[in-house]
Amino acid sequence: MKFTNKMLRDNALNGKTIVVTGGGSGLGKAMTKYFLELGANVVITSRNLEKLEATASQLEAETGGKCLPVQCDVRHYNQVESMLETVITNFGKVDTLLNNAAGNFISPTERLSANAFDTIIDIVLKGTKNCTLAFGKHWINTKQTNTVVLNIVTTYAWTGSGYVVPSATAKAGVLALTRSLAVEWAKYSMRFNAIAPGPFPTKGAWNRLAWKS
């Protein structure tokens, strides 16, 4: 099998609705494209509606799928609830939540302000908590089964890492959240997973990681 071949069969996600936070660019955009190619309806969210709309138009043209852009700042629970209502209004249900929205500062920790540290915690950990809680409560209340929460973490969620301490702290919290709810909410037929991707050649990642002499 060639590494460029799709892992799943065509139409494997037909009839599924997936919400991708931070879906307007980078890894979120790449995953959204693949979901659309497999037949899913995808909702992408972030704070930047203009970017979301451009991404949705591009991906719909490339895949023929349905991609709905919804503005949402995951740091605010009321915005998450409003976003969920929009998803339900448009598609009737949601099957999968992909907590991908993130932020990071590559910096010596002593140079970070308390507000800078809080910003990363709020987006990564609090944002993941807000979305998971809103979607999870909805699934429990509506008795929907076979739902999935997929959280994007990092390898340093296990090991820790200098110069990305706010992100490492937040991602470790997301990992603990994933493990905890995988046990507690299994009785509601929810499946929780976390993946820690390696480097992806996206503009944001490469601008931060590329060596500059």
pLDDT at 161: 94
The two three-digit tokens of residue 119, written as one number: 């910003």
Rg of the chain over all Cα atoms, to the nearest angstrom? 17
DSSP 8-state symbol, 202: -
Question: 3-state DSSP call for residue 149?
Answer: strand
pLDDT tens digits, one per residue of 167-184: 999 999 999 999 999 999
Residue 23 pLDDT greater than 70, yes or no: yes
pLDDT at 11: 85
pLDDT at 203: 65
Residue 201 pLDDT greater than 70, yes or no: no
pLDDT interval class at 197 (50, 70, 90) = confident
Q: What pTM did the predictor assign? A: 0.91
pLDDT tens digits, one per residue of 111-170: 999 999 999 999 999 999 999 999 999 999 999 999 999 999 999 999 999 999 999 999
Cβ atoms within 10 A of the Cβ of 59, count?
23
pLDDT tens digits, one per residue of 53-106: 999 999 999 999 999 999 999 999 999 999 999 999 999 999 999 999 999 999
pLDDT interval class at 213 (50, 70, 90) = very low
163 is catalytic: no
Catalytic residue among 77, 156, 163, 188: 156
Token match 């037929």: residue?
189
Residue 1 pLDDT greater than 60, yes or no: no
Strand order of the sheet with strand 147-152?
67-71, 41-46, 17-21, 96-99, 147-152, 190-195
Q: Which domains does the chain have, with CATH numbers?
A: 17-207 (3.40.50.720)
Phi and psi, residue 124, nearest 5°: -75, -55
> Which residues are CB-contacts of 178 (< 8 A; sequence separation ≥ 6)?
149, 151, 153, 192, 193, 194
Cα separation, 36 vs 41, whole angstroms: 6
In terms of pLDDT, which residue wins out, 85 or 200? 85
Cα separation, 213 vs 205, whole angstroms: 17
